[in-house]
Amino acid sequence: MHSWALTAMVAYVLLLWFVEVCMGMPDPRQRDMLMRQEVSRQTGGRVILTAAEQRLDAYLHRLKQQEMSAAQFPPAVHFFKAKPLIQSSPVFSLLRKMPKGGALHIHHSSLVSVEWLVKNVTYRPHCYICFTWDNSVRFLFSSRQPFPRWDCFYWQLLETLRAKMGDCTDFDNSLIQNLTLFTEDPDTAYPSQDIVWEKFEKAFISAAGLITHAPVLKDYFYRGLEELHQDNVMYLELRSGLSRTYELDGTIHDKIWSLKTFQEATKQFVADHPDFLGARIIITVKAAVKEAIQMQRDFPDVVAGFDLVGREDSGRTLWYFREALSLPADLGVTLPYFFHAGETDEEGTDVDQNILDALLFNTTRIGHGYALAHHPLAKELSRKKNVAVEVCPISNQVLKLILDLRNHPAAVLMSEGHPLVISSDDPSLFGTTGLSYDFYQAFVGIGGLKANLGTLKELAINSIRYSSLPPHLKETGLAMWQNKWDVFISDFL
Ligand SMILES: [Zn+2]
């Protein structure tokens, strides 16, 4: 047994003994002590705040109390309805200014806001559109009229189409609708998990023709970093399948081209914004472990590791891919894993088992880990191995794992101080940018009144601490973050 485990056990036994001997009116001092001890276990519970930080903390606490007593509490309602409430929240505007560290769980296809895709990308020359039989759209950049395809019989040049319309506002809004899940009445639009996932996948396919156009891709990455930077995020680990890209004349570039483009866009962005730490990729090509090993070897600075993605509930389990996932170990090479696991509310299923398997495959972090709170052994293991859980509150709500975020299982993890980071998963699909919306839900909804400035501080530090960066860059990142934090605190005073 580890010495910390022994100490924890002794403390636990002593505590129980204390409580048991206390009969009649509990001793108020002991009660206070127990309450303080419990709070010290939560995320950020051991962070010591400076006098200035304590002032901000007290202010945040008051604001949070006000929000909790308002007629509508944003974390308790669907995000699509809560968004305007959150936007007018003073807690949210503070969170926007707060340096949040890194975004460790965002997917390539939903990195950039759809407003940019529609207002910028679809206005570029040679952009064709086609309306499919199932009320969806496809885009294609081409130097000549594209040939009909099985899903797209009639392609129209957007420039011509828009010229005929005059006012394009409604049309552009309808395009935005096709690229996001956002709707005013989510309960009617998405009555079940299956239906919301169907729309989710449709939106991805619609955006593909825009994002996989080679000249767009570099701008897309750059814009993605810009949106994060504007939200005071300084680092990104992007999950990407590294799709092939196409030129106007139909020339196709391979995955390596996409990887290099990401590398160049990041380099350019860091040169333009020296307070941005950088960005790396977690490769998500289904069962292409061999390919990922090679890419990690060739681009060690950019490639963080590997993940399997897709909807867990309808896909294959990690255990199904056990042969492929054992390949790096069999070959004697290292390929860090960042598995999505336990993004389910169906306990006892094979998918539910993914959490334990992710840990057995030595995952570096767990994507979502929504089911972790129900697996005591896996939870212990992840804590012991210091494997952080990437909590994406809005994603879990929109994809219908939970409605009221106060009941999110991460509340348990947070109260125990389990290693956690907060991320946004598919921001463009959910109508968010950056991390502030998800931080709001975690801080106000999941953490409740208990969560304080220490919690926020620890969550931000965690995003560097549990990143895939090598130790010296983590140190650089933490120092950069601390500077930003100090400015944030002194600006408040
Ligand atoms: Zn994800």
pLDDT digits (tens, 9 = 90+) for 280-292: 999 997 768 999 9
Is 4 within the bounds of a domain? no
Domain with 419, as residue range(s), is 79-112+227-492
Is residue 4 over pLDDT 70? no
Is residue 11 over pLDDT 60? no
How far is the centre of ligand 1, averaged over its atoms, from the C-alpha of 414 (Å)?
20
How far is the centre of ligand 1, averaged over its atoms, from the C-alpha of 132 (Å)?
27
Is 6 within the bounds of a domain? no
> 107, 368, 375, 408: which one is catalytic?
368
Same domain, 467 and 479: yes
Catalytic residue check, 346: no
d(CA 26, CA 29): 9
Please identify every residue whose CB atom is under 5 Å from ligand 1, which is an ion.
Answer: 425
Same domain, 279 and 341: yes
Total number of domains in the chain: 2
Is 21 within the bounds of a domain? no
Same domain, 444 and 300: yes
| 82-91, 198-207, 351-360, range with greatest mean pLDDT | 82-91
**What's the pLDDT at 1?**
44
Provide mean pLDDT across the span 433-438.
97
**What's the pLDDT at 412?**
97
Is 465 within the bounds of a domain? yes
Catalytic residue check, 108: no
Is 61 within the bounds of a domain? no
Provide mean pLDDT across the span 74-90.
97
What percentage of the chain carries pLDDT values higher than 90? 83
Q: pLDDT tens digits for 330-356?
A: 999 999 999 999 888 888 888 889 999
Q: pLDDT tens digits for 206-220?
A: 999 999 999 999 999
Q: pLDDT tens digits for 108-126?
A: 999 999 999 999 999 999 9
> 53, 67, 227, 343: which one is catalytic?
343
Q: What is the overall mean pLDDT for the chain? A: 93
> Among 145-159, 382-396, 408-422, which is the least confidently predicted range?
145-159
Give CB contacts under 8 A, 24+ apart, made by 409-414.
409/370, 409/371, 409/372, 409/373, 409/374, 410/373, 410/442, 410/446, 411/446, 411/447, 411/448, 412/373, 413/369, 413/372, 413/373, 413/379, 413/389, 414/42, 414/43, 414/442, 414/446, 414/447, 414/451, 414/455
Is residue 130 over pLDDT 80? yes
Provide mean pLDDT across the span 176-187.
92
How far is the centre of ligand 1, averaged over its atoms, from the C-alpha of 351 (Å)?
15
Provide mean pLDDT across the span 60-80.
95
